[in-house]
Amino acid sequence: MEKTNMKHLSSARCILLLLFYFVGYTYLLPRILTVLTLMVDPQATTFNIPISVVSYVMIMVFVIWVAKPIWLDSILQFKANWKKYLPMIFALVFLTVMANYILNILVSIITQTGDSENQKVIAENAIVAPAFTIFSSVIFAPIVEETIFRGGVFTCLRSRVSFSWAMLISSFLFGFIHIMDSLIEGNFTDVTYLFLYTGIGLVLAYGYEKSNSIIVSTGVHMCNNILAILSLFLTL
């Protein structure tokens, strides 16, 4: 295993983040939001936006708190090396866009479909609640996903195994969460999109490894999602 001075989360914190994501965010939150929304409006067919925003902010605060050692160290790293890291962010955004474009074409050829179910849900939400979609895609998702899968899983594995294995495992999990709902619903066509999202995860993990800062991978993730959202709104 290559030596690394990377700040890493403990196994306990990493497990807590994963349990919170898969049990708390993925399973419990939709049910809690349903109850709270119906208490406010018994005729509602979509989640109450203010309640959703408050819930998402609380989730961001919690995951950042759990990964506090990573965030504090990353802020120090970024302050000391921002002239190096800003060009790195833009270079990685370009690499992510290129990888996304190529993999999207390959997946579309294989599946004969235009978008993954995850992307279709985002498009539907953009019509119903555009401001919330921007918030959840550009701010919430990058911060929470980078904190869990790069700050948590990647760094925890990186302290124990090689960069290659840490990158592959964390990126696979990152890719899996984007097709998980489709698999639960029996839509196995979306399995091919695992390669697309895993590919993005590989670039993000590479950025974290080279910068030793979660701010870099989060910045890349945010920029990538901004471009995706802009593209989405231009087609609506």
Q: Residue 124: pLDDT above 60? A: yes
**pTM of the full predicted structure?**
0.94
Spell out the long-range contacts of 112-116 with Cβ–Cβ below 8 A and sequence spacing 24 or more: 113/189, 116/178, 116/179, 116/182, 116/190, 116/193, 116/196
Integer Cα distance of 91 and 194 in angstroms: 23
Integer Cα distance of 206 and 160 in angstroms: 17
For residue 186, the model assigns a pLDDT of 86
111-121 mean pLDDT: 73
With bands split at pLDDT 50, 70 and 90, how would you rate the model's confidence at 3? low
Based on the number of CB atoms within 10 Å of its own CB, is 216 exposed (0-12), middle (13-18) or buried (19 or more)? buried
Q: Provide the token pair at 69.
A: 């050692």
For residue 2, the model assigns a pLDDT of 61
Q: For residue 14, give the nearest of 221, 167, 165, 159 by alpha carbon.
A: 159
For residue 114, the model assigns a pLDDT of 64
Task: Tell me the DSSP string of 46-85.
Answer: S--HHHHHHHHHHHHHHHHHHTHHHHHHHHHHHHHHHHHH
Integer Cα distance of 145 and 140 in angstroms: 8
For residue 104, the model assigns a pLDDT of 82
12-38 mean pLDDT: 97
Sorted by sequence, the CB contacts under 8 Å of residue 61 that are 6+ apart come out as: none
For the chain, which residues make up each domain, given as ranges?
A: 11-235
Q: Provide the token pair at 59.
A: 């989730």
pLDDT digits (tens, 9 = 90+) for 146-171: 999 999 999 999 999 999 999 999 99
Q: Residue 1: pLDDT above 60? A: no
